[in-house]
Amino acid sequence: MAIYRKVLLVEGQDEKRTIPELIELNGIDWGSGKNTIVHIKDYEGYENIIKPGSISTELKADGIEALGILLDADENPIDRWIAIRNACRNSRSISNISEELPEDGLIIEADNGVRVGIWIMPDNKLPGMLETFLGYLLPTDTSSLWEFAGEAINQAKEKGAPFTEYHRDKARIYSWLAWQKPPGRQLHQAIKERILDPQHPEAQQFVSWFRELYQL
């Protein structure tokens, strides 16, 4: 069985594909194959991350040195923080977790010495998700098209588009990407090809949290 010293738990494949591109384009060599700087594990939903036993199992893995947890705030960042905070406490491996999530992300040491980090997308305080965070990374000359994307999805909603309100940011960024050259790139491709700006100032707080957690 492979031993991973640095692990990041995520909710889905979009995070698994996008985070390496973002980190590498901020000057950190991600590596390839089994030799990546951080091993990303897709838990297929936040409910599986907070499920009893998940966090404690990860903290007991052979050789583990640092464990990151990346979640979407969705509609209620406070409720999401409370859920992951309680899951950490219930793991019986993290007794010193704070009552509130710092705006620059949480980094603490578990009872067994493993560094533990938590980041709730987009910015540890506002509702949203990965797509909300990526919407912050638009090049400066695209603001008018971004505004139009917001107007377009409002009109689509009025005409019966069935996306839910909390998926509004997702609908908006995919609409905007559909109008780029080439059109319709996936999120990780948009970062890799710099359709979105990986070095945008709005990305740097997350990148700093990542660097500190994994001591890069």
DSSP string, 186-198: -HHHHHHTTSS-T
Q: How confident is the model at residue 24 (pLDDT cuts 50, 70, 90)?
A: very high
pLDDT in tens, 155-196: 999 999 999 888 999 999 999 999 999 999 999 999 999 999
**Phi-psi sector, 88: left (phi>0), alpha (psi -120 to 50), beta:** alpha
DSSP state, residue 112: T
Closest CA to 200 of 131, 138, 114: 138
How would you classify the pairing of strands 31-32 and 66-72?
Answer: unpaired
Average pLDDT score, the chain: 95
Q: How confident is the model at residue 101 (pLDDT cuts 50, 70, 90)?
A: very high
Q: In angstroms, what CA-CA distances link 74 with 45, 105, 125, 158?
A: 12, 17, 11, 22
pTM of the model: 0.95
Q: How far apart are the first and last CA of the chain?
A: 25
